[in-house]
Chains A and B, each alone.
Chain A
Protein backbone atom coordinates (compact mmCIF):
# COMPACT_ATOMS: atom_id res chain seq x y z
CA UNK A 1 0.00 0.00 0.00
CA UNK A 2 2.90 2.34 0.77
CA UNK A 3 4.31 1.78 -2.74
CA UNK A 4 0.93 2.69 -4.25
CA UNK A 5 0.84 5.92 -2.22
CA UNK A 6 4.33 6.92 -3.41
CA UNK A 7 3.15 6.38 -7.01
CA UNK A 8 0.14 8.61 -6.43
CA UNK A 9 2.37 11.34 -4.94
CA UNK A 10 4.61 11.21 -8.01
CA UNK A 11 1.63 11.56 -10.33
CA UNK A 12 0.35 14.52 -8.32
CA UNK A 13 3.73 16.26 -8.40
CA UNK A 14 3.86 15.79 -12.20
CA UNK A 15 0.32 17.15 -12.35
CA UNK A 16 1.33 20.15 -10.25
CA UNK A 17 4.20 20.92 -12.61
CA UNK A 18 1.85 20.65 -15.58
CA UNK A 19 -0.60 23.10 -13.94
CA UNK A 20 2.29 25.41 -13.05
CA UNK A 21 3.43 25.52 -16.70
CA UNK A 22 -0.14 26.03 -17.95
CA UNK A 23 -0.66 28.96 -15.54
CA UNK A 24 2.74 30.47 -16.39
CA UNK A 25 2.02 30.07 -20.11
CA UNK A 26 -1.38 31.71 -19.71
CA UNK A 27 0.14 34.68 -17.82
CA UNK A 28 2.74 35.11 -20.60
CA UNK A 29 -0.05 34.91 -23.21
CA UNK A 30 -2.14 37.52 -21.37
CA UNK A 31 0.79 39.95 -21.11
CA UNK A 32 1.69 39.38 -24.79
CA UNK A 33 -1.91 39.94 -25.91
CA UNK A 34 -2.35 43.06 -23.80
CA UNK A 35 0.98 44.75 -24.52
CA UNK A 36 1.26 43.37 -28.07
CA UNK A 37 -0.84 46.19 -29.42
CA UNK A 38 1.28 49.34 -29.67
CA UNK A 39 0.29 52.72 -28.29
CA UNK A 40 -0.65 55.20 -31.01
CA UNK A 41 1.51 58.24 -30.31
CA UNK A 42 1.32 59.84 -33.77
CA UNK A 43 -1.12 62.54 -32.69
CA UNK A 44 1.21 63.46 -29.86
CA UNK A 45 4.15 63.37 -32.27
CA UNK A 46 2.47 65.87 -34.62
CA UNK A 47 1.95 68.22 -31.67
CA UNK A 48 5.56 67.86 -30.55
CA UNK A 49 6.72 68.57 -34.11
CA UNK A 50 4.54 71.70 -34.25
CA UNK A 51 5.86 72.84 -30.86
CA UNK A 52 9.47 72.35 -32.00
CA UNK A 53 8.84 74.44 -35.09
CA UNK A 54 7.12 77.13 -33.01
CA UNK A 55 10.10 77.22 -30.63
CA UNK A 56 12.40 77.57 -33.62
CA UNK A 57 10.44 80.43 -35.20
CA UNK A 58 9.44 82.49 -32.21
CA UNK A 59 10.89 83.31 -28.83
CA UNK A 60 9.12 85.24 -26.05
CA UNK A 61 6.52 86.58 -28.46
CA UNK A 62 8.98 87.81 -31.09
CA UNK A 63 9.61 86.23 -34.48
CA UNK A 64 13.21 85.30 -35.29
CA UNK A 65 14.74 88.13 -37.26
CA UNK A 66 16.46 86.03 -39.92
CA UNK A 67 13.35 84.28 -41.25
CA UNK A 68 11.40 86.56 -43.56
CA UNK A 69 13.08 87.13 -46.91
CA UNK A 70 15.92 84.78 -46.04
CA UNK A 71 16.17 82.07 -48.71
CA UNK A 72 18.99 80.29 -46.85
CA UNK A 73 16.71 79.76 -43.88
CA UNK A 74 13.95 78.55 -46.19
CA UNK A 75 16.23 76.12 -48.05
CA UNK A 76 17.84 74.73 -44.89
CA UNK A 77 14.72 74.84 -42.75
CA UNK A 78 15.16 71.40 -41.15
CA UNK A 79 18.78 72.05 -40.28
CA UNK A 80 18.06 75.57 -39.01
CA UNK A 81 15.34 74.22 -36.73
CA UNK A 82 17.34 71.12 -35.71
CA UNK A 83 14.73 68.74 -37.10
CA UNK A 84 15.48 65.28 -38.39
CA UNK A 85 12.96 63.41 -40.54
CA UNK A 86 14.97 60.18 -40.71
CA UNK A 87 13.07 57.08 -39.63
CA UNK A 88 13.73 53.39 -39.05
CA UNK A 89 15.01 51.41 -42.04
CA UNK A 90 11.72 49.53 -42.36
CA UNK A 91 10.11 52.60 -43.91
CA UNK A 92 10.85 53.15 -47.59
CA UNK A 93 9.22 56.57 -47.86
CA UNK A 94 9.51 59.59 -45.66
CA UNK A 95 6.98 59.39 -42.83
CA UNK A 96 6.69 63.08 -42.03
CA UNK A 97 5.39 66.21 -43.66
CA UNK A 98 5.63 69.74 -42.42
CA UNK A 99 4.33 73.02 -43.85
CA UNK A 100 4.90 76.39 -42.27
CA UNK A 101 3.19 79.57 -43.44
CA UNK A 102 3.72 83.02 -42.01
CA UNK A 103 1.03 85.55 -42.78
CA UNK A 104 0.99 89.27 -42.22
CA UNK A 105 -2.69 90.11 -42.44
CA UNK A 106 -3.76 88.22 -45.55
CA UNK A 107 -0.30 88.36 -47.21
CA UNK A 108 1.82 85.25 -47.12
CA UNK A 109 5.35 86.40 -46.32
CA UNK A 110 6.96 83.02 -45.79
CA UNK A 111 6.19 79.44 -46.75
CA UNK A 112 8.17 76.26 -46.47
CA UNK A 113 7.24 72.59 -46.99
CA UNK A 114 9.37 69.63 -46.00
CA UNK A 115 8.89 65.87 -46.12
CA UNK A 116 6.51 63.58 -47.98
CA UNK A 117 3.90 65.69 -49.77
CA UNK A 118 1.73 62.61 -50.49
CA UNK A 119 0.79 62.39 -46.80
CA UNK A 120 -1.28 65.54 -47.12
CA UNK A 121 -4.01 63.43 -48.76
CA UNK A 122 -4.75 61.84 -45.35
CA UNK A 123 -5.72 65.17 -43.78
CA UNK A 124 -9.41 65.80 -43.58
CA UNK A 125 -10.17 62.18 -44.49
CA UNK A 126 -8.98 60.77 -41.15
CA UNK A 127 -11.31 63.02 -39.15
CA UNK A 128 -14.35 61.70 -40.98
CA UNK A 129 -13.80 57.96 -40.98
CA UNK A 130 -11.58 57.40 -37.93
CA UNK A 131 -9.25 55.22 -39.97
CA UNK A 132 -6.25 54.26 -37.88
CA UNK A 133 -4.04 53.39 -40.84
CA UNK A 134 -4.07 56.91 -42.27
CA UNK A 135 -1.45 59.44 -41.29
CA UNK A 136 -2.25 61.81 -38.42
CA UNK A 137 -2.46 65.51 -39.13
CA UNK A 138 -2.29 68.50 -36.86
CA UNK A 139 -2.90 72.07 -37.99
CA UNK A 140 -1.86 74.69 -35.44
CA UNK A 141 -1.41 78.42 -35.47
CA UNK A 142 -0.03 81.08 -33.20
CA UNK A 143 0.80 84.77 -33.22
CA UNK A 144 4.12 86.51 -33.06
CA UNK A 145 5.52 90.00 -33.51
CA UNK A 146 8.56 91.38 -35.24
CA UNK A 147 10.80 94.08 -33.77
CA UNK A 148 8.51 96.77 -35.25
CA UNK A 149 5.56 95.16 -33.45
CA UNK A 150 3.90 93.99 -36.66
CA UNK A 151 1.66 90.99 -35.97
CA UNK A 152 2.25 87.72 -37.83
CA UNK A 153 0.09 84.63 -37.88
CA UNK A 154 2.15 81.45 -38.11
CA UNK A 155 0.37 78.34 -39.39
CA UNK A 156 1.98 74.95 -38.91
CA UNK A 157 0.71 71.77 -40.54
CA UNK A 158 2.46 68.66 -39.24
CA UNK A 159 1.74 65.13 -40.45
CA UNK A 160 3.10 61.83 -39.13
CA UNK A 161 2.45 58.45 -40.75
CA UNK A 162 4.50 55.66 -39.13
CA UNK A 163 1.39 53.47 -39.13
CA UNK A 164 3.27 50.18 -38.84
CA UNK A 165 4.90 51.31 -35.58
CA UNK A 166 1.73 52.67 -33.99
CA UNK A 167 -1.12 50.48 -35.14
CA UNK A 168 -1.41 46.70 -35.29
CA UNK A 169 -2.11 46.24 -39.00
Chain B
Protein backbone atom coordinates (compact mmCIF):
# COMPACT_ATOMS: atom_id res chain seq x y z
CA UNK B 1 0.00 0.00 0.00
CA UNK B 2 2.74 2.50 1.00
CA UNK B 3 4.75 1.66 -2.14
CA UNK B 4 1.61 2.45 -4.21
CA UNK B 5 1.25 5.77 -2.40
CA UNK B 6 4.86 6.78 -3.19
CA UNK B 7 4.40 5.84 -6.86
CA UNK B 8 1.16 7.87 -6.97
CA UNK B 9 2.92 10.89 -5.40
CA UNK B 10 5.71 10.69 -7.99
CA UNK B 11 3.10 10.69 -10.74
CA UNK B 12 1.41 13.72 -9.18
CA UNK B 13 4.74 15.62 -8.97
CA UNK B 14 5.47 14.80 -12.61
CA UNK B 15 2.01 15.96 -13.69
CA UNK B 16 2.29 19.18 -11.65
CA UNK B 17 5.67 20.01 -13.17
CA UNK B 18 4.16 19.49 -16.65
CA UNK B 19 1.33 21.91 -15.88
CA UNK B 20 3.65 24.49 -14.30
CA UNK B 21 5.96 24.39 -17.33
CA UNK B 22 2.94 24.56 -19.68
CA UNK B 23 1.60 27.59 -17.78
CA UNK B 24 4.95 29.36 -17.97
CA UNK B 25 5.14 28.69 -21.72
CA UNK B 26 1.56 29.93 -22.26
CA UNK B 27 2.20 33.12 -20.28
CA UNK B 28 5.52 33.70 -22.06
CA UNK B 29 3.83 33.35 -25.47
CA UNK B 30 1.08 35.77 -24.41
CA UNK B 31 3.57 38.36 -23.12
CA UNK B 32 5.55 38.05 -26.36
CA UNK B 33 2.37 38.48 -28.42
CA UNK B 34 1.37 41.59 -26.43
CA UNK B 35 4.86 43.01 -26.95
CA UNK B 36 4.72 42.34 -30.71
CA UNK B 37 1.23 43.92 -30.87
CA UNK B 38 2.55 47.04 -29.14
CA UNK B 39 5.51 47.19 -31.53
CA UNK B 40 3.20 46.84 -34.56
CA UNK B 41 0.88 49.53 -33.20
CA UNK B 42 3.80 51.97 -33.11
CA UNK B 43 4.42 51.65 -36.83
CA UNK B 44 3.22 54.71 -38.72
CA UNK B 45 -0.50 54.49 -39.28
CA UNK B 46 -0.96 57.20 -41.84
CA UNK B 47 -3.30 57.12 -44.78
CA UNK B 48 -2.15 59.33 -47.61
CA UNK B 49 -3.59 60.17 -50.98
CA UNK B 50 -0.77 58.37 -52.79
CA UNK B 51 -0.73 55.29 -50.57
CA UNK B 52 -4.23 54.24 -51.63
CA UNK B 53 -3.14 52.95 -55.05
CA UNK B 54 -4.91 55.75 -56.89
CA UNK B 55 -5.64 55.51 -60.59
CA UNK B 56 -6.74 59.13 -60.95
CA UNK B 57 -6.12 62.60 -59.62
CA UNK B 58 -9.01 65.05 -59.78
CA UNK B 59 -6.85 68.20 -59.92
CA UNK B 60 -4.61 66.77 -62.63
CA UNK B 61 -7.63 65.71 -64.68
CA UNK B 62 -9.15 69.18 -64.34
CA UNK B 63 -5.90 70.72 -65.59
CA UNK B 64 -5.86 68.25 -68.49
CA UNK B 65 -9.41 69.24 -69.43
CA UNK B 66 -8.19 72.86 -69.52
CA UNK B 67 -5.16 71.70 -71.53
CA UNK B 68 -7.32 70.16 -74.25
CA UNK B 69 -9.62 73.19 -74.39
CA UNK B 70 -6.85 75.82 -74.44
CA UNK B 71 -5.22 77.29 -77.53
CA UNK B 72 -1.78 76.05 -78.64
CA UNK B 73 0.39 78.60 -76.79
CA UNK B 74 -1.53 78.13 -73.53
CA UNK B 75 -1.32 74.36 -73.99
CA UNK B 76 2.46 74.53 -73.85
CA UNK B 77 2.38 76.69 -70.72
CA UNK B 78 -0.09 74.36 -68.96
CA UNK B 79 1.87 71.24 -69.94
CA UNK B 80 5.24 72.62 -68.81
CA UNK B 81 3.75 73.74 -65.48
CA UNK B 82 2.01 70.40 -64.96
CA UNK B 83 5.29 68.60 -65.60
CA UNK B 84 6.76 70.36 -62.55
CA UNK B 85 4.10 68.89 -60.26
CA UNK B 86 4.47 65.63 -58.43
CA UNK B 87 1.25 63.72 -59.15
CA UNK B 88 0.43 60.30 -57.68
CA UNK B 89 -0.03 59.00 -61.25
CA UNK B 90 2.02 59.57 -64.41
CA UNK B 91 1.00 62.73 -66.29
CA UNK B 92 1.92 61.50 -69.78
CA UNK B 93 0.12 58.19 -69.30
CA UNK B 94 -3.05 60.03 -68.29
CA UNK B 95 -2.63 62.52 -71.13
CA UNK B 96 -2.35 59.71 -73.68
CA UNK B 97 -5.28 57.92 -72.09
CA UNK B 98 -7.53 60.98 -72.49
CA UNK B 99 -6.19 61.59 -76.02
CA UNK B 100 -7.12 58.01 -76.88
CA UNK B 101 -10.67 58.56 -75.62
CA UNK B 102 -11.05 61.84 -77.54
CA UNK B 103 -9.73 60.47 -80.85
Binding site for B on A (CB under 8 A): 1, 8, 12, 15, 19, 22-23, 26, 29-31, 33-41, 43-44, 47, 50-51, 54-55, 58, 60-62, 140-145, 149, 151, 153
A151, B42: Cβ atoms closer than 8 Å: no
Smallest Cβ-Cβ distance to A44: which chain B residue: B47
Q: Would you call the interface of chain B mostly helix, strand, loop, or mixed?
A: helix
A43, B59: Cβ atoms closer than 8 Å: no
Total interface residues in chain B, CB < 8 Å: 39
Binding site for A on B (CB under 8 A): 8, 12, 19, 23, 26-27, 30, 33-34, 37-38, 40-42, 44-49, 52, 58-60, 62-63, 65-71, 74, 77-78, 81-82, 85
B69, A61: Cβ atoms closer than 8 Å: yes
Measured between alpha carbons, how far is A144 from B59 in the docked complex, in Å?
10
A145, B66: Cβ atoms closer than 8 Å: yes
B42, A47: Cβ atoms closer than 8 Å: no
Measured between alpha carbons, how far is A168 from B56 in the docked complex, in Å?
31
Nearest-neighbour CB distance to chain A for B53, whole angstroms, equals 13
Residues of A within 8 A of B30 (CB): 22-23, 26
Q: Which of A1, A15, A34, A140 contacts B19 (CB 8 A)?
A: A15
Measured between alpha carbons, how far is A29 from B30 in the docked complex, in Å?
10
Measured between alpha carbons, how far is A38 from B66 in the docked complex, in Å?
39
Nearest-neighbour CB distance to chain B for A128, whole angstroms, equals 17
Tally the A-B contacts, defined by beta carbons under 8 Å: 100
Measured between alpha carbons, how far is A29 from B36 in the docked complex, in Å?
12
13 example contacts (A-B, Cβ-Cβ < 8 A) are as follows A8-B12, A23-B26, A23-B30, A30-B37, A40-B45, A40-B47, A43-B48, A61-B65, A61-B66, A141-B85, A142-B62, A143-B62, A149-B70
A151, B78: Cβ atoms closer than 8 Å: yes
Nearest-neighbour CB distance to chain B for A113, whole angstroms, equals 19
A143, B46: Cβ atoms closer than 8 Å: no
B33, A26: Cβ atoms closer than 8 Å: yes
B65, A60: Cβ atoms closer than 8 Å: yes
B69, A62: Cβ atoms closer than 8 Å: yes
Measured between alpha carbons, how far is A44 from B42 in the docked complex, in Å?
20
Q: Which of A1, A54, A60, A149 contacts B58 (CB 8 A)?
A: A54
Residues of B within 8 A of A51 (CB): 58-59
Measured between alpha carbons, how far is A48 from B85 in the docked complex, in Å?
18
Nearest-neighbour CB distance to chain A for B88, whole angstroms, equals 10
Nearest-neighbour CB distance to chain A for B23, whole angstroms, equals 7
